[in-house]
């Protein structure tokens, strides 16, 4: 940790882990996967997820960690970290939010936690409707001399994939539901975030930066809809401001889609010349930053992580999940 008026780095990552293997009840038997909907090798991948993150990040915000068994497996495999869970299952919400944030206690302290369960969402045509979608705010302190960092994680509704009845695949309906949740997210941040703290809002927003939907006149119109809401509260898209290349985070088909970075085979190389319209994946996982007044925050180039070669695979391209982790390193400076 930083101290004595010195700046300190905090390494933050977000990762949709696809640890999706629902149970009939918490601790009960897993539901049979009759439609190939659920995550692969969840019990085997959960501890591998933790080991991939441990020592690399100080704060790791995860999504699709749905069950207590996966929480326990991750916590056991990264014993130096505190695990803070998001909204949990209740009532007709037969699955939790899947949100879990890990903070390495050797590097930072957790000083505040707030949770919100979305009231808006889809309907009975959407599997997401039966999960406790929401947001999780975790405030971490690197040093009393430095500003605290609020990390807010979320995972907005994807929509569809439950009942193949009219309207289940209506992208306009799905986007409308996501934006209603984004409005709740903004209200939650406005209510719970301390404006004196540095703010990161991270998550799987299920909004494609360059959307191939042929019905759209502008492939970035849905992203701009989301961006307008978040920039209105002072947030900037870290990849757009500091990244290299399109920053695709999911929907990869082949290992060649994820070339390893020269300096670390767990990381994915970025192509600054690639075109989002023709790149092999989609960017739906985001990191948004707000710097408070009077605070200097340096932002490192954000990076993507596949963590391949660990045996069980979640992604078709050989990665440990079907999404890449997205990270950045912030250098926090004492207040002026």
Residue 122 is predicted with a pLDDT of 83
Residue 1 lies in a domain: no
Residue 131 is predicted with a pLDDT of 85
**β partners of residue 200:** 151, 289
Residue 178 is predicted with a pLDDT of 97
Q: Do 93 and 121 contact (CB within 8 A), yes or no?
A: no
Residue 2 is predicted with a pLDDT of 55
pLDDT mean over 261-282: 96
Residue 26 is predicted with a pLDDT of 79
Residue 163 is predicted with a pLDDT of 66
Residue 181 is predicted with a pLDDT of 98
Q: What are phi and psi of 292, to 5 degrees?
A: -75, 160
Q: Do 125 and 117 contact (CB within 8 A), yes or no?
A: no
pLDDT mean over 233-258: 97
What's the CATH number where 295 sits?
A: 3.60.10.10
Q: Could you report the per-residue pLDDT of 120-165, keeping only the tens digit for each? A: 998 888 888 888 899 999 999 999 999 999 999 999 999 887 667 7
pLDDT of 1 higher than 60 = no
Of 38-52, 160-174, 184-198, 232-246, give the lowest mean pLDDT range. 160-174
Q: How many domains, in total, are found in the chain?
A: 1
Mean pLDDT across the chain, nearest whole number? 94
Residue 70 is predicted with a pLDDT of 96
Residue 27 is predicted with a pLDDT of 81
Output 217 or 92, whichever has higher pLDDT.
Answer: 217
pLDDT mean over 183-190: 98
Residue 34 is predicted with a pLDDT of 67
pLDDT mean over 186-203: 98
Residue 306 lies in a domain: yes
Q: What is the DSSP string of 126-151?
A: BGGGGB--EEEEEEEES-TTS--EEE
% of the chain beyond a pLDDT of 70: 98
Q: Using pLDDT thresholds of 50, 70 and 90, give the confidence band for residue 4.
A: low
Q: What is the DSSP string of 171-234?
A: HHHHHHHHHHHHHHHHHHHHHH--TTSEEEEEEE----SS---TT-SSTTHHHHHHHHHHHTTT
pLDDT of 36 higher than 90 = no
Residues 6+ apart with CB under 8 A from 14: 60, 61, 62, 63, 153, 202, 203, 204, 285, 287, 325, 326, 327
Residue 108 is predicted with a pLDDT of 98
Q: Tokens representing 31?
A: 């539901």
Q: Do 213 and 174 contact (CB within 8 A), yes or no?
A: no
Residue 89 is predicted with a pLDDT of 80
Residue 76 lies in a domain: yes
Residue 324 lies in a domain: yes
pLDDT of 215 higher than 90 = yes
Residue 3 lies in a domain: no
pLDDT mean over 86-115: 91
Its domain, for residue 146, covers: 8-332
The sign of the dihedral angle between the CA atoms of 120, 160, 72, 252 is: negative
Residue 2 lies in a domain: no
pTM listed for this prediction? 0.95
Q: Tokens representing 277?
A: 């319209």
């Amino acid at each position: 940790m930083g101290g004595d008026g010195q700046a300190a780095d905090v390494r933050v990552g977000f990762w949709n882990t696809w640890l999706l293997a629902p149970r009939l009840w918490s601790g009960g038997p897993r539901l049979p996967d009759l439609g190939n909907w659920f995550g692969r090798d969840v019990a085997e991948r959960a501890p591998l997820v933790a080991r991939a993150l441990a020592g690399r990040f100080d704060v790791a915000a995860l999504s699709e960690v749905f069950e207590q068994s996966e929480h326990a497996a991750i916590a056991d495999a990264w014993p130096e970290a505190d695990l803070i869970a998001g909204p949990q299952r209740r009532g007709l919400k037969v699955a939790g939010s899947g949100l879990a944030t890990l903070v390495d206690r050797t590097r930072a302290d957790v000083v505040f936690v707030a949770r919100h369960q979305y009231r808006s969402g889809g309907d009975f045509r959407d599997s997401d409707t039966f999960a406790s979608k929401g947001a999780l705010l975790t405030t971490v302190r690197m040093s009393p001399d430095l500003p605290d960092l609020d990390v807010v994680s979320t995972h907005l509704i994807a929509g569809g994939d439950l009942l193949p009845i009219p309207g289940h695949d209506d992208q306009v309906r799905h986007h409308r539901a996501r934006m209603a949740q984004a409005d709740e997210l903004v209200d939650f941040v406005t209510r719970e975030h301390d404006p004196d703290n540095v703010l990161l809002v991270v998550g799987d927003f299920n909004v494609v930066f360059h959307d191939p939907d042929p019905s759209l006149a502008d492939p970035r119109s849905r992203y701009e809809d989301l961006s307008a809401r978040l920039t209105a509260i002072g947030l900037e898209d870290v990849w757009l401001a500091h990244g290299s290349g399109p920053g695709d985070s999911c929907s990869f088909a082949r290992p060649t889609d994820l070339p390893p970075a020269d300096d670390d085979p767990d990381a994915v190389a970025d192509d600054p010349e690639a075109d989002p319209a023709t790149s092999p994946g989609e960017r739906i996982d985001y990191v948004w930053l707000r710097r408070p007044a009077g605070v200097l925050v340096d932002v490192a180039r954000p990076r993507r992580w596949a963590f391949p070669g660990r045996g069980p695979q979640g992604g078709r391209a050989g990665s440990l999940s079907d999404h890449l982790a997205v990270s950045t390193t912030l250098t926090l400076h004492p207040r002026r």
